[in-house]
Chain A
């Protein structure tokens, strides 16, 4: 049954170890520095993005080649997104948004290969990305606006008594952002991969039942094919949603008070 276990695909396995640091004399309580399959696919993701962008834009053709066109279109796509949601002032965060979008997109796409590891199906990865966004929002917002950043929690034109209810709600709403940002990406990828594996597992267990089972396994097979397409859609969509929400949150840091 190990082959059809839907959870085993998310196991983080150690590929090789760099050794242990900070261990006491008994060799305990140290931190193991290991290279896992998760790390491998993060390296592959960054490697693919960097190689593609560097190689495809090397020609710098005035009339772009096909490969260069893809790079230019992805630039235009993210640049338009940043400009429309965070204004031209937000373009200083273009590198952040573009890196997040391409990292999530390519990591999701690597995860779509059978037997490959989906990096974004780990909550720690998506939480780290979301916390990075919120850290940038808070640090830049406070650095740029000082205490004016707190205007984010005080909507204008509201009578004083109502503020006692609205301000805690606004604070909670702000605090919920990293959670919703990370849970959405993590949940979509995790659930999608589990469902895909479950339906694929049905094919195996049904076809073990003989001729009738073989015939019956057409149904989960159709589902598995359809879900694969859906998962590609979800992979691209979640990268897009993450990027556009990053822009919207950055807009709050640039222009607090609404």
Chain B
């Protein structure tokens, strides 16, 4: 028990030369490659952007297709072509818009809050000129 304590204290007080050197090397390498984290962040945001676009498009189109198909089915049952299809197509458009706005609201809620200082860069236009 005493031995392990002893080792611990020496480790924290004096840096072991080989690990200290390795640490310096790692820090050096990290300084030389600052772009890795930034590149990862960009790639991540691009991936999310593509997912977003596909999601919005399919949500919008799917509502219209479902509504039109449902309308055609109802028309075929009651033989009232094309009343139900027209009405449901209009409703389907509404549903599509609602799907898109809802998806956008979900994405906004999930996104991190932007820095409030950066939102309004400089709007004190009254004393600039």
Chain A residues with CB under 8 Å of chain B are: 84, 165, 168-170, 172-173, 175-177, 179-180, 183-184, 187-188, 233-234, 237-238, 240-241, 245, 248
Contact = CB atoms under 8 A, between A and B. Distances in A.
Contacts of A240: 51
Given A180-B58, A180-B59, A237 B95 contact: no
Contacts, number: 68
A168 B47 contact: no
A104 B106 CA distance: 23
B91 A168 contact: yes
Chain B: number of interface residues, binned into ranges:
20 to 34
Nearest to B69: A179
Give chain B's interface secondary structure class: helix
Contact of B61 (A170, A173, A180, A233): A180
A175 B73 CA distance: 14
Contacts of A176: 59, 62-63, 65-67, 92, 95-96, 99
Contact of B55 (A168, A184, A187): A184
B62 A183 contact: yes
Interface string B61-83: 11101110010000000000000
Interface in B22-54: 47, 50-51, 54
Nearest to A233: B47
Give chain A's interface secondary structure class: helix
Contacts of B65: 176, 179
B106 A173 contact: no
A169 B58 contact: no
26 contacts: A168-B91, A169-B94, A169-B98, A172-B63, A172-B92, A173-B63, A173-B95, A173-B99, A173-B102, A175-B70, A176-B63, A176-B65, A176-B96, A176-B99, A180-B59, A180-B99, A183-B61, A183-B62, A184-B54, A184-B55, A233-B47, A234-B50, A237-B50, A237-B51, A241-B55, A248-B106
B66 to A, nearest CB: 4
Contacts of B102: 173
Nearest to B102: A173
A221 B67 CA distance: 42
B85 interface: no
Contacts of B61: 180, 183
Contacts of A233: 47, 50
Nearest to B66: A176
A108 to B, nearest CB: 14
A183 B64 CA distance: 13
Contacts of A237: 47, 50-51, 54
Residue among B47, B51, B62, B95 with the highest chain A CB neighbour number at 10 A:
B62
